[in-house]
Structure 1
Amino acid sequence: MKSFRSAAGAILVSAVFTILMGGCAHNPDVREGHDYTFGTTDKSPPDYLGCVKGELQRNATTYEVGSGDSVQLFVDSTDPTTANGLVEVHGAGTHHQFTAYQRDAWYDHGRLLDAALMCSKA
């Protein structure tokens, strides 16, 4: 009976570990997370994204993709499955819509999300 409990315990521990590690290995598109904000701005995309970049930590690496009416600002990677943040701006004329996404926003208290909102109004 004792060896049965040991085997059952080992199987249970192994199953739990496999499930947990599988969950950690899954890294979805940053746009699929629950940490995001959106709104509009009267600033041009270059001015708006320049403001957002100015509010990020100095060691953050950013990449701008696109031009004109649709620009994306990626933080740390241009791959949405590994990027720590993404700000999308699109629209023509004087009103531009933005959506900002941040992976693990709890880590730095949503700095990118706060910057996206603040820069839309400033």
Structure 2
Amino acid sequence: MKRSSSVAGAILVSAFATMFMAGCAQNPDVRDGHDYTSGTTQRSAPDYLGCVKGELQGTTTTFEEGTGDSVKLYVDSTDPNKANGLVEVQGSGAQRQFTAYQRDAWYDHGRLLDAALMCSKA
């Protein structure tokens, strides 16, 4: 009996570890995280995103993608599952809505989120 319960325990621990590792291996869409901020800006999308890019480290790679009245600035990858950050600007006229997302914002103290907020006010 003892051998049977230790085998069952080992299988249970192995199954739990496999499920845990599979969950950790996933890299969800950057927009699904907890690190984000949003607001409005009176700046045009190019001016606003130019300001945000200017606040990032010089080695940071960014990509812009636009459709209609929406422009997205991706950090490090255009794939939301791999991007380390994303700033979306929508709208036209005097006010534009923005939302900024940053994966692992603790790593650099939320530099992208801070830039998004600071540039919305400038």
Larger CA deviation: 34-43 vs 58-67: 58-67
Deviations 1:27-69 (A, max 9, x none): 2211111111100011111111011011112221100001662
Normalised by the length of structure 2, the TM-score is 0.90
Shift >2 Å, 4+ stretches: 1-6
Counterpart-to-counterpart distance in 2, 1:68 and 1:45: 12
Structure 2 residue matching 1:87: 3-state secondary structure: strand
Instruction: Output the amino acid matched with 1:27.
Output: N
Structure 2 residue matching 1:98: 3-state secondary structure: strand
Deviations 1:55-114 (A, max 9, x none): 112221100001662110000110111111100001111211100011111221111111
Larger CA deviation: 64-73 vs 35-44: 64-73
**Aligned runs of 1:21-100 on 2, under 5 Å?**
21-66=21-66, 69-100=69-100
Larger CA deviation: 51-60 vs 111-120: 51-60
Normalised by the length of structure 1, the TM-score is 0.90
Structure 1 residue matching 2:74: 3-state secondary structure: strand
Structure 1 residue matching 2:63: 3-state secondary structure: strand
**Aligned match of 2:18:** 18
Larger CA deviation: 69-78 vs 8-17: 8-17
Larger CA deviation: 10-19 vs 88-97: 10-19
Counterpart-to-counterpart distance in 2, 1:58 and 1:13: 45
Segments of structure 2 that go 5 or more residues without pairing to the other structure are none
> What count of residue pairs does the alignment treat as equivalent?
122
Instruction: Output the amino acid matched with 2:96.
Output: H
